[in-house]
A and B are shown apart, each in its own frame.
Chain A
Amino acid sequence: MELRLTDFASPFLTSAARAEEVCAEVFAHWDAEAVTLDFANVRTMTPSFANTLVMNLLHRVSLDEMKARVRFENTSPHIDAVLDRAITRHLKLGIELTAYIPA
Chain B
Amino acid sequence: MQARRSLHVPRLANSDFSAGRIAWEMLQSAATLRMNGGVVDLIDLSDVRHMRPYGVAIVAAMAELSRLQGNPVTYLEPRDETIRAHLTRLGLPTIVGQRDPTRVTPRTTNLPIRIEKTRSDNTGSEVAEMLVRELGYDLPGGLEYQIAENIDEMVLNALTHSESEAGCVIVGQAFPQKSVLEVAILDLGITIPTHLGRVLPGLPNDATAIEKAIVDGITGTKDRNRFGEPNSGAGLNNLAEHLAARGGEMAILSGSGIVWMDTLGKWGRDVLDGPRFEGTLVNIVFSTQPGSTGVGPATLADL
List the interface of chain A (C-beta within 8 A of B): 9-10, 12-17, 20, 43-48, 51-52, 55, 76-78, 82, 85, 89, 93-101, 103
Complex interface: chain B residues within 8 A of A45 (CB): 149
| A12 and B148 contact, CB distance less than 8 A | yes
Complex interface: chain A residues within 8 A of B230 (CB): 16, 20, 52, 97-100
> Interface on chain B toward A: helix, strand, loop, or mixed SS?
loop
* Tally of chain B residues near chain A (CB < 8 A): 31
| A46 and B152 contact, CB distance less than 8 A | yes
B229 CB within 8 Å of chain A? yes
Complex interface: chain B residues within 8 A of A12 (CB): 121-122, 124-125, 148, 152
With the chains together, A101 CA to B220 CA distance in Å?
12
With the chains together, A45 CA to B121 CA distance in Å?
10
Complex interface: chain A residues within 8 A of B219 (CB): 98
B234 CB within 8 Å of chain A? yes
Cβ contacts B136-176/A at 8 Å (1 or 0 each): 00000110011011001100100000000000000000000
List the interface of chain B (C-beta within 8 A of A): 119, 121-122, 124-125, 141-142, 145-146, 148-149, 152-153, 156, 216-217, 219, 221-224, 227-235, 238
Given contacts A47-B235, A95-B233, A98-B232, 19 further A-B contacts (CB under 8 A): A9-B121, A12-B152, A14-B152, A15-B229, A43-B125, A43-B145, A46-B149, A51-B232, A51-B234, A82-B149, A89-B234, A93-B217, A94-B217, A95-B232, A97-B230, A98-B222, A98-B230, A100-B230, A101-B223
Count: A-B pairs, CB below 8 Å = 105
Give chain A nearest CB distance to B127 CB in angstroms. Answer: 12
With the chains together, A76 CA to B141 CA distance in Å?
10
User: Which chain A residue has the least Cβ–Cβ distance from B241?
Assistant: A85
Can you offer 21 A-B residue contacts whose CB atoms are under 8 A?
A: A10-B122, A12-B125, A13-B121, A15-B119, A20-B230, A43-B125, A43-B145, A44-B145, A44-B152, A46-B124, A46-B153, A48-B156, A48-B229, A51-B232, A52-B230, A78-B146, A82-B149, A89-B234, A93-B216, A95-B216, A97-B230
User: Which chain B residue has the least Cβ–Cβ distance from A52?
Assistant: B230
Among B121, B149, B222, contact of A10 (Cβ-Cβ < 8 Å): B121
| B142 and A78 contact, CB distance less than 8 A | yes
| B156 and A46 contact, CB distance less than 8 A | yes
With the chains together, A90 CA to B142 CA distance in Å?
24
Among B124, B216, B221, B232, contact of A52 (Cβ-Cβ < 8 Å): B232
Which of A51, A93, A100 has the most CB atoms of chain B within a 10 A radius of its CB?
Answer: A51
Give chain B nearest CB distance to A69 CB in angstroms. Answer: 22
Which of B125, B145, B229, B233 has the most CB atoms of chain A within a 10 A radius of its CB?
Answer: B229
With the chains together, A89 CA to B224 CA distance in Å?
19
| A47 and B234 contact, CB distance less than 8 A | yes
Complex interface: chain B residues within 8 A of A17 (CB): 227-229
With the chains together, A97 CA to B222 CA distance in Å?
10
Complex interface: chain A residues within 8 A of B223 (CB): 98-99, 101, 103
Which of B217, B230, B232 has the most CB atoms of chain A within a 10 A radius of its CB?
Answer: B232
Known A12-B125, A44-B124, A98-B219: A77·B119 in contact at CB below 8 Å: no
